[in-house]
Amino acid sequence: MSERNSTPSPISGSASDSDDTASDDLTADLDLAFDAGQHQRRWRRRQRGFWATRAHVNALIAASRPDIRARAHWLVRNNGYAVKVVESWAANTVGNGIKPILGLRRLRQKRNCNGALHPAPICAELCDVGARMQEAERDALRILGRRDARGNRQLRVGLGNSMPGIAIVANLLANHPGLNVSVESGSHQTILAPVLQHRVDVAVLPDVPSDSRFRRFPVLSQDVVAIVSADVPEPPGGSFSLAQLMDRPMIFRPRGSSTQKVVDRAFRQAGLEPTPRLVADTRDAVYEVVALGIGVGFMWRFGTYRRDSVRRIAVLDMATPVDEVVFTLATERNDLVDMFLNASRVFAKTHAETV
């Protein structure tokens, strides 16, 4: 034990006071030695000036990423040391694989007069094989995605609006009770992307343009209407003008919503720049906010069958009808998708007879 811990304090000769003083000094020394989080107050610590960050490395290098990537590519092409680093990393991460069998010289040609490395023909062939393997993996994952956790087949449906998609699903299930259906809902953008990526088999969205990539079938036509709470009096003439809406608090959807695209286009063409009171991220949120009387919202006329607490009111400059379209990829060959398309045709016929 140090002298400080064994010698009584000069101020107080009691053993108790000496122990307290020694304990305090020892605590201070330990604090100075080990408290890495308080280095700003410990000016004697070696960590002075050591400013660590919790930010991810990708965030730290984001601004310089293009330059770093370009320089890394140049080094791999022109610097043997960089090539060895990449090879060592790949060998330790993935395994030696084909390198010991084929040898590096078979995977790349010798340097040209400028010192640059170029892939050998066998390397190009292997890249082609790898691309086909990736495509086969995507196909396998797509097939597995059509099964639920129990291994039963399921149809994956994407919906922009609850209706008419849910009505079509109900029609489908009524005729095929054993069918398993999963439904993903969201904005126009969040549904279109899964269709293109094969994560959704078939989708129902408004205003889907003709595209050779899709098989499509329009099931109904509808326009965007304003919705107000049930206690709001009906405007004169039974419809709103855009000028009248400018005097009311409005509820908008985020960009990417098919509803909001129509609303923005109408105000832009009229030379008006509205400021919403609130932006709600989902259709249901807009419905609930409007029901509470916070403002005027917008939705597709047949977007929901609910009529409990809001009223639909036409907007003169948004009255142009738009097709609600059932669509799937043209390359999609799936009997479950064909069943959904058949149910869509039945719904379209019934809707046309009742409207």
- For residue 239, the tally of other CB atoms under 10 A from its CB is 17
- Cβ contact 266:348 at 8 Å: no
Cis previous bond, 164, omega within 30 = yes
Taking all residues of the chain, what is their mean pLDDT, rounded to a whole number?
Answer: 79
Instruction: Decide which of 67 and 117 is more confident.
Output: 67
**Does residue 249 register a pLDDT over 90?**
yes
The per-residue DSSP string of 289-312 comes to HHHTTS-BEEEETTS----SSEEE
Q: For 272, phi and psi rounded to 5 degrees?
A: -110, 150
Tell me the per-residue pLDDT of 137-192, one tens digit each, with 9 for 90 and over. Answer: 877 777 776 776 776 778 999 998 888 999 999 999 998 888 889 999 888 888 98
CATH class held by domain 146-221+323-354: alpha beta
**In which band, very low, low, confident or very high, does the pLDDT at 253 lie, cut at 50, 70 and 90?**
very high
Q: Which of 3.40.50.2300, 3.40.50.300, 3.40.190.10, 1.10.10.10 is the CATH number of 224-320?
A: 3.40.190.10
pLDDT at 113: 53
Instruction: Decide which of 20 and 311 is more confident.
Output: 311
pTM recorded for the entire structure:
0.57
The angle formed by the CA atoms of residues 154, 328 and 299, to the nearest 5 degrees, is 95
Domain ranges of the chain: 78-144, 146-221+323-354, 224-320
Q: Identify each DSSP E strand in 209-257 by its residue range.
A: 214-222, 224-229, 239-240, 251-252
Instruction: Decide which of 322 and 305 is more confident.
Output: 322
**In which band, very low, low, confident or very high, does the pLDDT at 332 lie, cut at 50, 70 and 90?**
confident
Domains 146-221+323-354 and 224-320 equal at CATH topology level: yes
298/20 Cα distance (integer angstroms) = 73
Tell me the per-residue pLDDT of 292-303, one tens digit each, with 9 for 90 and over. Answer: 999 999 999 988
